[in-house]
Amino acid sequence: MNKKTQYQFFPTTALKPTGWLKKQLRLQADGLCGNLDKVWKDVRDSAWIGGDSDGWERVPYWLDGFIPLAYLLEDADLISRAQKYVDAILDRQQADGWICPCEPQKRAGYDPWPVLLITKVLCVYYDCTADTRAMDAVYLCLKQFNDHIDVHLLSGWGAARWFEGLVALGRLYEARPEPWMLTLAQKLRAQGLDWREMLHNDFLDSFRGWNFMSHIVNIAMMLKSDALYSLFFGGDPQAFADEALAYLDRRHRTAAGHFNGDEILCGNSPIQGAELCSVVEAMYSYEILFAVTGDVKFLDRLEELAFNSLPATISPDMWTHQYNQMSNQVACFPMSEAIFRTNDRQSHLFGLEPNFGCCTANFGQGWPKFALSTFLRAEHGVASCALAPATLQTEIDGVGVTCALETDYPFRDVLTYRVTTEQPVEFTLSVRIPATAAAAEIDGVPVPCGSFAHLLKTWSGTQTVTVRLRFETQILPRPQALFCVKRGPLLYAVPIREEWERVEYTANGVERKFPYCDYYIFPRSKWNYMLTSDDFTVEERAFDQPFRPDAPPIVLTAQMCEVDWGFHNGHCDRLPADRTPRSDPQPVEMIPYGCTNLRMTEIPFQK
């Protein structure tokens, strides 16, 4: 490669999640992601392990989150089950390197996307285990694939996601460079979709039906394409991502900081939606973009999604999820007519696999990979990147170093670092100060927000660093004279009391049974509000689990009145029918968006 990344990820074994982050990972392990191989035939009976069910993306998607989850939690049962799948996949690799469950005579018509995906997953497995079989399998697979695409050009999902193959290819080239690897990188780009051309010619908004070009998951993935390619051949790793994000922010940005796409891009309406797969893939893109470029703004974007969009579209027990989440989501039962551009009228339900099962398999990568972004290796030490409670154990200049971040951020404003060294050693602890803070200080000394504070010193014994952040509550404009409320990295919403109804059934051989059944959620409180004051009270509350509507860690209260706001077809109207107050102002609570299932996020403001 012509250059290295600015920051390097530590192996999974070096990091231990703690505090609320560990509880969140435990919830995931005890929920759907941690049990998918027991309850869902597309994983349980997959062709990847010799079964007769799905032999395409679903097992690799699931393993991409399940493997790091198992090793971060050091859970023997999860590790054993992950090992079963990896062993089965490696054992079934063909002599010529082909690894996907596809008969030789059918390879020509096999969409190659899982080839790119499974090689990336095997790299994740290697980072957890140092099992050399994984990288040997990646080598054989991609070497065969280099010849395969000379005759069977990239097509379909593989063409749209060509750059995903660069993740594993880059790891190979760094460890054991051979000329064919550079050739494969060039072939992937040449045969894949030209995302630069798509963006520069304004094609992405020109499509109305379903297509690969404006598909939101493809777009979330492609943000990192130039960054990955630059590691092979140089060039600006960031300019294209900046341009793409500026376009997405301008036309499709949600209040939570993501971009709307109910399968395909769909504008900025609060009653459209964003597909769950796009949330976790955008998070991964931001993690890669930061590591390659060193630009901390990608970490601010990562936190926006991790603290808002990701938990808001998964039930608090993590047994069910939505395909599409809506910013203004006042009910989750089948609509009489779909409001979404290409998804069905039930894709916003919480369930086992609403609309499509891709998110069922894929959502599990979100939290584990976020945990792996808490600490990264920097040129002269260690960087605290994604801010969440975790402990790093590593060596610097041959000296054992432990760095622990103790915090309830983003629900609180204090970060406490405890650095312990086996003997004195000089290095830099780089502490990220989020741009969403209004002010910050380290051990009483003011520091700028939106950058790293670099603490170079000789560390000895156990030393403590305390970071204090100050957050301001902001009322921010949204399209069509609506507004949203943010405080630090958290978006807030008016929660709606909810009534859940279980829906258990079997369709197409897939059983929905408690706790992995579908649910209808009905509103049982008012939601048709307008802000009438910019004066908020802030109340921090005790919490055990961070993202629950019945026990939020922090609550804002503001004065609001009721307005005439219609409800049709199973959803609220995009805008109120009339903004004339229909009641006197009254105190109304707002809780973090990520704690909500039913909510009003974008509302009028009339002071």
- Residue 369 φ then ψ, to 5°: -70, -30
Query: What percentage of the chain reaches a pLDDT higher than 70?
Result: 100
Q: What is the rounded CA–CA span in Å between residue 303 and residue 285?
A: 13
Domain boundaries, the chain: 31-192, 376-407+414-470
Per-residue pLDDT at 365: 98
Quote the CA–CA distance of 182 and 240 in Å, as a whole number: 21
Output the pLDDT for position 327: 98
User: Which is nearest to 217 in space by CA: 271, 166, 266, 261?
Assistant: 261
For residue 535, pLDDT over 70 is answered with yes
Q: What integer best gives the mean pLDDT of the chain?
A: 96
Q: Tens digits of per-residue pLDDT, 210-253?
A: 999 999 999 999 999 999 999 999 999 999 999 999 999 999 99
Q: Are 307 and 279 in contact (CB under 8 A)?
A: no
Burial of 580 (0-12, 13-18, 19+ CB in 10 A): exposed
Which H or E element spans position 494?
A: strand 490-495
So what's the pLDDT on residue 144? 98
> Coil, helix or strand for 142?
helix
Residue 459: pLDDT above 60? yes
Predicted structure pTM score: 0.98
**pLDDT at residue 511 is higher than 60:** yes
Q: State residue 259's pLDDT score.
A: 96
Spatial distance between the Cα atoms of 466 and 442, rounded to a whole number of angstroms: 6
Looking at residue 207, what is its pLDDT? 73
Average the pLDDT over 4-17 and give the result.
96
User: What's the distance, CA 55 to chain centroid?
Assistant: 24
CA distances from 323 to 88, 167, 263, 361 (A): 30, 26, 9, 12
Q: Which of 494, 493, 499 is nearest to 331 (CA)?
A: 499
pLDDT at 433: 98
One-character DSSP codes across 17-85: E-HHHHHHHHHHHHSHHHHHHHH-HHHHTBGGGT-SB--SSHHHHHHHHHHHHHHHHT-HHHHHHHHHH
Smallest CA-to-CA distance from 386 within 337, 452, 474 is with 452
Sign of the CA dihedral with 360 first, then 364, 367, and 373 last: negative
Q: What is the pLDDT of residues 74-94, one digit of tens each?
A: 999 999 999 999 999 999 999
- Check residue 570 and give left, alpha or beta (phi > 0: left; psi -120 to 50: alpha): left
For residue range 11-39, list pLDDT tens digits in order: 999 999 999 999 999 999 999 999 999 99
Do 310 and 25 contact (CB within 8 A), yes or no? no
On the question of pLDDT at 305 being above 50, the answer is yes
Do 123 and 170 form a contact (C-beta atoms < 8 A)?
Answer: no
Q: Confirm if 90 and 54 have CB atoms less than 8 A apart.
A: no
Supply the pLDDT for residue 208: 75
The vertex-175 CA angle with 172 and 177, nearest 5°, equals 70
Please report which confidence band the pLDDT of residue 1 belongs to, taking 50, 70 and 90 as the band edges. Answer: very low
The answer to whether 330 and 603 are in contact (CB under 8 A) is no
- Residue 339 is classified by DSSP as -
CA distance 15 to 589: 37
- In whole angstroms, how far apart are CA 163 and each of 44, 116, 137, 222, 465? 29, 8, 19, 7, 40
Cα separation, 436 vs 341, whole angstroms: 33
Give the tens place of pLDDT for each residue, 313-357: 999 999 999 999 999 999 999 999 999 989 999 999 999 999 999
Contact (CB, 8 A) for 357 and 56: no
Single-letter amino acid code for the residue at 177: P
Residue with tokens 């990562």: 302
- Which H or E element spans position 482? strand 482-487
- The answer to whether the CB of 546 falls within 8 A of the CB of 20 is yes
CATH topology of domain 376-407+414-470: Maltose phosphorylase, domain 3 (2.60.420)
Give CA separation, 511 vs 61, 184, 193, 517, in Å. 20, 42, 37, 8
pLDDT at 99: 97
For the chain, the first-to-last Cα distance in angstroms comes to 57
pLDDT at 373 over 80: yes
Element (H, E) at 191: helix 179-191
19 neighbors 379 (Cβ within 8 angstroms): no
